[in-house]
């Protein structure tokens, strides 16, 4: 449907002459530049933090830190943007220390937000690989008396090398498709990315041919990047770290000091924009008008998240059935179906939204059906995330239990009972993950949303763009609370699954 929409709109031809427009090249250049820099810095800063996590002793706060990393990666972007503005904006807490030339809007703000959102993902991905280094290798390192550089060169880097490159590529794709950050912190046409340009062409200029052409370029570049990245493998970041290491060398006092500094700095970096929200909220805590204006967007967001999650998880489960059947019968189509289910990410949310928008425009009243379209497109976009969670669990269930189920001749209800009991925790994990992503959606809402059903992130965007930072901060704190609860639920279920 989306591709049909992307092909044409009421017979209007593509504006091919746009391909020679310098504006287009400036967008492409900036989009690639900011995404490459964001990915590079995210991974570069993640390495020392992952090493610190590995070599510092296990503790409660380390587990909290890893949970915070999950929260930061899935955090509704508008919360972070409000936090960054509260910290480094025109009247930010830290702004007086940054000199007169400092301006949060533009490349600096975009990079800062992207690093904040993606560095935690890179930390977890690298740390998971490092924590899987077997105890025998660490013993060998000690036995051979390798120095710190050699330890990194021959043990740590090879263990996490592939994760580093894949993470780098994956983060670049994510930043290439970034919307809310660039919309809020871009600060003008000089710092525009494809997603924002598509949004502007569609919603402000109502230039559908231009939006379609931009969408195709976005799809080709982002999809191509994603396919290249996934050729090299997938990166695991939500798994449990290996805890049964029996031996790990003690760091020297100097190393230990370094790790402590890095670890503390990472804590501060991740907590600063979130804690910066609190003082800004004090003016509106008791403002009843604010709270009454919050009720409807909050209810809309929760209802939207609930319905989308239900739809997304159900569709993901249904989409996995042919794959499971092919796997059980050892059919070669299992690989093909596996690829199909995992590669939906090739199509960015904005491109999918534009395709469906153009498809629906002559066929229905988009304003009237906006809520359901936001739900439907969000569900489509989040299916791969739900599949990522469900697929290994269902494959392992089938591999382990398919013969007993057959030999016990279980009926339909009994099979549903046994399978439900098995996958319930994984379904809960998938549902919390999808819910938190949907709760933070801005890109899809920006295309299909309207004033009849304002969501909480869009309300925050409205407050932030009119410099009502106190209201934006308090609404962000509410959204943060819900996201935090979902992430804690996700972490709890994940440790139960493990």
User: What is the contact surface with another protein in residues (CB under 8 A)?
Assistant: 400-401, 403-404, 406-410, 414, 417-418, 421-422
* Beta carbon nearer to another protein, 15 or 331: 331
Distance from C-alpha of 192 to C-alpha of 235, rounded to nearest angstrom: 29
* Residue pair 371/296 in contact by the 8 Å Cβ criterion: no
Task: Look at the chain and count its residues.
Answer: 498
Taking the complex as a whole, the smallest distance from the CB of residue 410 to another protein amounts, in Å, to 7
* Beta carbon nearer to another protein, 313 or 426: 426
Distance from C-alpha of 22 to C-alpha of 26, rounded to nearest angstrom: 6
Taking the complex as a whole, the smallest distance from the CB of residue 496 to another protein amounts, in Å, to 11
* Per-residue b or e along 122-142, where b marks 16 or more CB atoms closer than 10 Å to that residue's CB: bbbbbbbbbbebeeeebeebe
Residue 10: phi, psi to the nearest 5? Answer: 45, 40
* Beta carbon nearer to another protein, 162 or 414: 414
Distance from C-alpha of 167 to C-alpha of 368, rounded to nearest angstrom: 40
Taking the complex as a whole, the smallest distance from the CB of residue 396 to another protein amounts, in Å, to 11
For the four alpha carbons of 172, 174, 177 and 181, in that order, the dihedral sign comes to negative
* Beta carbon nearer to another protein, 240 or 406: 406
* Beta carbon nearer to another protein, 64 or 417: 417
Taking the complex as a whole, the smallest distance from the CB of residue 332 to another protein amounts, in Å, to 16
* Beta carbon nearer to another protein, 255 or 398: 398
Taking the complex as a whole, the smallest distance from the CB of residue 231 to another protein amounts, in Å, to 30
* Beta carbon nearer to another protein, 254 or 413: 413
Q: CA 204 → CA 17, 207, 237, 446, distances in Å?
A: 21, 8, 38, 11
* Beta carbon nearer to another protein, 57 or 421: 421
Q: How far is CA 156 from the centre of its chain?
A: 26
Distance from C-alpha of 78 to C-alpha of 69, rounded to nearest angstrom: 17
Taking the complex as a whole, the smallest distance from the CB of residue 399 to another protein amounts, in Å, to 8
* Beta carbon nearer to another protein, 267 or 397: 397
Annotate 309-361 with DSSP letters as a single string: HHHHHHHHHHHHHHHHHHHHTT-THHHHHHHHHHGGGGS-HHHHHHHHHHHHT
Taking the complex as a whole, the smallest distance from the CB of residue 75 to another protein amounts, in Å, to 32
Taking the complex as a whole, the smallest distance from the CB of residue 406 to another protein amounts, in Å, to 4
Provide the token pair at 391: 């697929």
Residue 429: phi, psi to the nearest 5? Answer: -60, -50
* Beta carbon nearer to another protein, 400 or 495: 400
Taking the complex as a whole, the smallest distance from the CB of residue 401 to another protein amounts, in Å, to 6
* Beta carbon nearer to another protein, 408 or 485: 408
With 0-12 / 13-18 / 19 or more C-beta atoms within 10 angstroms meaning exposed / middle / buried, residue 196 is: buried
* Residue pair 233/166 in contact by the 8 Å Cβ criterion: yes
* Residue pair 434/313 in contact by the 8 Å Cβ criterion: yes
Closest alpha carbon to 473 in 87, 156, 142: 87
* Beta carbon nearer to another protein, 336 or 417: 417
Taking the complex as a whole, the smallest distance from the CB of residue 403 to another protein amounts, in Å, to 6
364 DSSP assignment? S
Taking the complex as a whole, the smallest distance from the CB of residue 395 to another protein amounts, in Å, to 14
Taking the complex as a whole, the smallest distance from the CB of residue 259 to another protein amounts, in Å, to 36
* Residue pair 163/35 in contact by the 8 Å Cβ criterion: no
Annotate 91-154 with DSSP letters as a single string: T-SSGGGG-TT--STTHHHHHHHHHHHHHHHHHHHHHHHHHTS-HHHHHHHHHTT--HHHHIII
């Amino acid at each position: 449907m989306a591709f049909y929409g992307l092909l044409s709109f009421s017979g209007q031809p593509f504006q091919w002459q746009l391909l020679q427009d310098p504006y287009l090249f400036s967008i492409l250049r900036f989009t690639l530049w900011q995404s490459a820099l964001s990915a590079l810095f995210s991974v570069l800063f993640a390495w020392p933090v992952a090493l610190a996590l590995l070599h510092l002793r296990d503790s409660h706060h380390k587990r909290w830190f890893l949970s915070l990393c999950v929260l930061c990666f899935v955090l509704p972007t508008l919360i972070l943007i409000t936090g960054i503005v509260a910290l480094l904006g025109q009247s930010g807490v830290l702004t007086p220390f940054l000199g007169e030339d400092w301006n949060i809007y533009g490349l600096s703000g975009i990079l800062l937000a992207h690093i904040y959102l993606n560095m935690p993902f890179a930390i977890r991905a690298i740390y998971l690989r490092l924590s899987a280094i077997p105890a025998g290798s660490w013993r060998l390192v000690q036995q051979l008396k390798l120095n710190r550089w050699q330890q990194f060169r021959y043990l740590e880097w090879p263990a996490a090398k592939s994760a580093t490159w894949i993470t780098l590529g994956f983060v670049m794709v994510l930043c290439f498709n970034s919307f809310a950050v660039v919309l809020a912190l871009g600060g003008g046409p000089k710092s525009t990315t494809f997603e924002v340009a598509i949004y502007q062409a569609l919603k402000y200029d109502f230039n559908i041919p231009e939006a379609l052409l931009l969408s195709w370029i976005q799809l080709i570049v982002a999809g191509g990047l994603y396919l290249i990245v996934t050729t090299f493998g997938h990166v695991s970041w939500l798994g449990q770290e290996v805890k049964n290491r029996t031996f790990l060398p003690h760091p020297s006092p100097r190393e230990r000091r370094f790790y402590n500094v890095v670890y503390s700095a990472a804590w501060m970096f991740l907590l600063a924009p979130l804690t910066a929200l609190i003082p800004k909220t004090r003016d509106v805590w008791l403002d009843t008008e604010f709270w009454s204006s919050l009720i409807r967007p909050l209810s809309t967001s929760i209802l939207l998240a609930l319905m989308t999650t239900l739809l997304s998880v159900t569709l993901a489960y249904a989409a996995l059935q042919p794959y499971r059947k092919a796997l059980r019968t050892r059919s070669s189509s299992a690989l093909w179906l596996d690829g199909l289910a995992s590669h939906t990410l090739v199509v960015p949310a904005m491109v999918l939204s534009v395709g469906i928008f153009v498809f629906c425009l002559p066929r229905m009243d988009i304003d009237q059906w906006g809520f359901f379209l936001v739900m439907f497109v969000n569900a489509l976009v989040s299916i791969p995330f739900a599949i990522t969670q469900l697929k290994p669990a269902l494959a392992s269930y089938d591999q382990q239990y398919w013969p007993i189920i057959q030999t016990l001749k279980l009926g339909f209800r009994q099979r549903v009972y046994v399978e439900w009991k098995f996958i319930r925790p994984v379904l809960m994990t998938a549902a919390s993950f999808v819910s938190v992503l949907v709760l933070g959606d801005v890109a899809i809402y920006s295309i299909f949303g309207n004033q009849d059903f304002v969501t909480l992130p869009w309300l925050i965007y409205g407050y932030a763009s009119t410099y009502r930072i106190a209201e934006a901060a308090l609404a962000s704190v509410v959204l943060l609370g819900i996201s935090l609860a979902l992430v804690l639920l996700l972490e709890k279920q994940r440790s139960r699954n493990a």
